[in-house]
Structures are given as structure tokens and as C-alpha cells.
Structure 1
Amino acid sequence: MADFLIVVITAYLSYRFKNFYRIFVQTIKNRAGRQIPWFEIQAHYTRLTKLVALVDDLISPLIFTVFLSHLLLNCKQIYDVIQKQRTAHLFQTTECVLIHSGDAITVFYLSFSLAVLLLRSLMVSLMTAHLHTISREPLNALHTVSSSAYNNDMQKFMDQVYNSKVCLTGLKFFYVTRGTVLSMISTILTYELVLLQIND
């Protein structure tokens, strides 16, 4: 339920930033050769960043709990799968197959639940990290603006987009960005490799 709530909230915030980007690009195209209202554009972007900060204050404990539980559950599930695979030995004789078939079913169940858990963790992480990515998209459009439209207001807006950390956090301990997602994946993989070396 918490995963679903985070995904829905992030999808809404991402939609707001996509809508802003669409309006921003349209304004640049329509105002070609004329004065672009940088102050209004910056004010709109500032309202969106404040909305993200407000939402983050409300749900950052939930994000921290969900990400921590995903990390621990994934590591625990990987450990269980490796341990069960070591103990599940199917022999050729019928009696042994019947005796150890419970282990094979357990390994299959653990592997399947691990795959579901990893997919769920990946979905929540990528959706949440996408908010940070989409909040920086105006930088791409700013590079297409003609030099005649360049002024101090445009520079202020560019600096704001570049320097703003528009993303959700886990109690301000970490920012949910693509880098965070890669760090989580590398932590899980490192844990798995260490387990495999210990078991060997």
C-alpha cells in the first residue's frame, strides 16, 4: 500500500512538471524574436519546487521506511534463496525426490517472491527518481533559446533549475535520484557476491 501511495504521489508531481515543461517550450516557440516572460516562468517553477518540498515534508518518513524495508527484504530474500539452494538436492531415486520435493518448491517460491520484490522495489525507485530527472528538463529547452533572448532573468532561471535539488527524500538522509537507485542496486549485488563467496 505504501509503495502504491508513493508511486501515485510521484506520478502526480511528475505530471505537473511535464505540464510546466510543455507550457515552457510552447512559450519559447511562440515568443521567438520577442521578450520571453522569464519572471512568470520562474515563478511557476518556484511554485512547483515548493509543492515538492511540501509533499516531501509529509511523506519523507514513509519513503525512508519503504526504501529501508525494500533494501533489507531484498537482502534477506537473497540470503534465503542461496541457503535453500544449497540444501535442496534432488536425487535420482523416487524416494529422495519425494523427500526433497518440498525444498524444490520452497526454492521456487523464494525465487519467485524475490523477483516480485525486486521488481516492486525497482518500480518505486525509478518512478520516484524520475521526478528529479524531469524537473531538470527545462535546461534542455534553455539551450535552444536564441542569444537575443538571453538576459539576467533567463540566467537566474537557469541557475535555479541547475542548482535546485527537486526530488523526494528519505528523512533528508538521502535524495531519491538515479544515483541513489544505482547505489541501492550495487549494495544488493555486493551483498549477494559476498554471500556467494562465504558459502563457497
Structure 2
Amino acid sequence: MPWIPRDARRRGASLHEALRPMLVAAQVFALMPVEGLRQASPASLRYLQRPTEHILARLFNVVHAYECSPGGLSWLQLYLANEFPSAYHYIGFSYWTSAWLATINTAATFSWNYMDLFLILISLALADRFEHFNQDIARVFDRAVPQKIWQRIRENYCSLAHLAHATNARINKIVLLSFTTNLYFICYQLLNMVIPVMLPSIYSPYCYPESSSFHFSLNPSMLEMVYRCWSFAYLVARTCAVSLSAARVYEKSHEPKRLLFLVHPKSYGVEVQRLLDQINSDEIALTGFNFFSITRTFMLTVAGTIVTYEIVLVQFNNVSNAQESNMANKTFCSFEYY
């Protein structure tokens, strides 16, 4: 794998050594607070109990809030009210509450990103194990070798299959959470990009005061459109990265079949046939809580689901144009001082 240091690849790096650069990078974002990453054995890892901080700038919301602000620190209240409108509806506005919500939101955002990174690394590491196994078969499949060699190869495959099933049993809930979350936010961001085009009448290009409320412009600025496009592209790219990495496990685990059909006639025997039968019958793939298996064709299913739901959402918004307009003018556009 290209992200493993060259010297570690030469001596046969362990999974702990292979994941070390990414674990160090995760600590920058207050994730995986452990010590002992530079030790040779993962048994030396210890969790750290110390607070960490990170500031996540939401630039386009700050700019909008500043433009709508009448002056002073009112822009901060407008910004916070736009960030957590549902929460303030139930618990009321305060700066202490805002700080608490912002901390939770930041931690959740980085945990969400790291969850996908974790799945990518685990998938690549597991697929790399199968790749080494395939290389072992490629070295002997066209030669006459004793059955003991093929017995050892079959036993190695059994060990890898057990490792793959055990790994899937540990992370299949994370896989399900990752795909459902990414699917939701892809549809959400795509809808945010489509609605200004489909329903331009509900967007007002101005911020203006009305009694005790300040109305927030819904007309997307260039900064906001850049953010929406970048966020959508980033979500799609990250979902594709997770899908392709996880699908690589399925592909590499089934790759030996092609070579086993080409085994040297003098080597073909019971062990080769048992190995071939096991590969054909054993479904090795990462799953989303066993609801679905991640393969390349699964990506097409996800893409079709996104398109279907987006069409439904756009049609729903077209039908309820008047209701959306009223809601935008009364609720979504306005920020009240609590």
C-alpha cells in the first residue's frame, strides 16, 4: 500500500505500523487520543484523558450573518441562530448553550470524517492481505508442486477468511452508519444546490429588519455556492473512496479463482478443488450490518437511490412551492433575538 513507509514495506509492516501515520493525523483533530503510537507493539497503546480543542470556521454563514447584522455583536447571535435553529426553538438562546452545541457539532463532524477514513484504512489493509495471498498462488499455479503446498495455501485462505468475517462482524455497524449518513447528506447538499434553481421565487436577495427580527438572505452568495459545490463533491468523493476500498476486499478475495482454473495438471488435486469450492461458496465482503454487501455494483445501486430520492424531493418542493415560500419568509430566513 502506498501510504506505508518504504522501509516498513521492506521488512513487512504490521497493521499497527501501517496505520500509524493516519492515527497521528487523527490526533490533530482530537480523535484517537492515545499514546504509544511509535512503539512496535499495539499492546503499548494507552488512551489519554486530556482535553483537546479545535475551531471549525463556518465562513459563509459568518459572512451572511455579518451582512445582515445591524452592528455590534449582533452578527454573532445571527450566526449562532442560523447554526442551531432547531435547538434554540426548544431550549432558548444563550451563549453558553451555543458554545456547548458548537463543541458537540465540531466533535461530531470530525468523528464522521474519521469514521470513513477508518473504514478506508481497514478495507485497504484487509484487501492487501488477500493480495499477498494471491501473489503466493501466482508463484506456483503454473508449476507441478506437491499437494502439501496447496494444503498450506488452502489453510492460509481459511485463516484470511476467518479474519475477514471477524473484521466484518466488528465494523458492519460502522459501515451501515457511514453509508446511511453519507447518503443523507449527499441528498441534502444536492437539494440545497437544486432548490435555488428550481424555486428561485422563495429566495430574497436582501437582508432587512422587520420589528424585532432580522431576516437572513436566502439568495446564495458566491461564497455559499462554492461551499455547497465543494461540500457535495467532497461527500461524493469520500463515499466513492469508502465504497471502492471496501469493494476491493470482495474483489481480492475472489481473484484466486482465475488462477485456480489454470493450475498445472500435475498439481491439480483434492486440495485445489477444496480451495476452489471454498472460494466459490464463501461470501467474503464487508457488509452494512449484513443488510448489503459492498461491491462495485453496489455503487450503482447507491447512485440510483440518490437520483430517485432527489427526484422525489424536487417534485415535492415543486408541489409545495407556496408552503415553502411561507416557511422561508417566516422561519428559515429570520433570526429572532431570544
1:64: which partner in 2?
176
Q: Is the 8 A contact 1:84 1:107 kept in 2?
A: no
Aligned equivalents of 1:175 and 1:107: distance in 2?
35
1:51 aligns with 2:169: no
Q: Is the 8 A contact 1:63 1:169 kept in 2?
A: yes
Task: Give the one of 30, 33, 40 matched to 2:144.
Answer: 33
Aligned equivalents of 1:88 and 1:108: distance in 2?
18
1:103 aligns with 2:220: yes
2:125 counterpart letter in structure 1: Y
Q: Is the 8 A contact 2:195 2:314 kept in 1?
A: no
- Misfit runs of 4+, over 6 Å: 96-101
2:158 counterpart letter in structure 1: T
2:286 counterpart letter in structure 1: L
How many residue pairs match? The answer is: 192
1:7 aligns with 2:124: no
1:78: which partner in 2?
190
> Map of 1:46-195 to 2, 5 A cutoff?
46-87=158-199, 103-105=220-222, 106-195=224-313
Superposition CA RMSD, Å: 2.3
> Highest CA radius of gyration, 1 or 2?
2
Deviations along 1:65-110, whole A, 9 cap, x unmatched?
0011011111111111111233558xxxxxx988889514233321
Aligned equivalents of 1:187 and 1:51: distance in 2?
31
1:92: which partner in 2?
none
Aligned equivalents of 2:312 and 2:250: distance in 1?
32
Unpaired runs of 5+ in structure 1? 90-95
With the length of structure 1 as denominator, give the TM-score of the two structures. Answer: 0.85
Unpaired runs of 5+ in structure 2? 1-113, 208-216, 320-338
Aligned equivalents of 1:8 and 1:77: distance in 2?
26
1:10 counterpart letter in structure 2: S
Aligned equivalents of 1:175 and 1:76: distance in 2?
25
1:122 counterpart letter in structure 2: C
Aligned equivalents of 1:12 and 1:153: distance in 2?
27
**Other structure's SS at 1:175 match:** coil
Identity of aligned residues (%): 27
Return the offset for 1:28: 2.4
Return the offset for 1:178: 1.7
**Other structure's SS at 1:149 match:** coil
Q: Is the 8 A contact 2:285 2:293 kept in 1?
A: yes
With the length of structure 2 as denominator, give the TM-score of the two structures. Answer: 0.52
Moved more, 19-28 or 129-138: 19-28
Q: Is the 8 A contact 1:129 1:181 kept in 2?
A: no
Return the offset for 1:179: 2.3
Return the offset for 1:4: 0.7
**Other structure's SS at 1:15 match:** helix
Return the offset for 1:196: 4.8
